[in-house]
Amino acid sequence: MFLVLKTTGMVLLTILAGICLSGAMYFWTDKEGFKHFSNISPPKNSPVQLLDEKKRVIPKGHEFKVVKIFDGDTIRVAGFGLQFTIRLVGIDTPEIGRNGAKDQPYGQQAKQKLALLINQKSISLKQYGTGGYNRVLAEVFVGATNVNLEMVRSGFAQVYRGNRPNQFNAKPYLQAEQQARRFQEGIWGQGDAYKSPRQWRREHPAK
pLDDT in tens, 145-159: 999 999 999 999 999
The vertex-176 CA angle with 171 and 178, nearest 5°, equals 95
CA 133 from chain centre, in angstroms, equals 10
Domains of the chain: 2-57 (no CATH), 64-203 (2.40.50.90)
Residue 4's pLDDT is: 42
Q: For 26-40, how does the pLDDT look when each residue is reduced to its tens digit (9 = 90+)? A: 555 666 665 555 545
Active-site residue numbers?
A: 87, 95, 135
Q: What is the pLDDT of residue 172?
A: 97
- Residue 16's pLDDT is 40
- Distance in angstroms (rounded) separating the CA atoms of residues 74 and 66: 11
The reported pLDDT for the residue numbered 60 is: 47
CA triplet 180, 181, 187: central angle to 5 degrees?
Answer: 85
Q: Which residues of the chain have pLDDT under 70?
A: 1-62, 207
Position 201, amino acid:
R
**Model's pTM, two decimal places?**
0.72
Residue 5: C-alpha distances to residues 14, 50, 62 (Å): 10, 16, 16
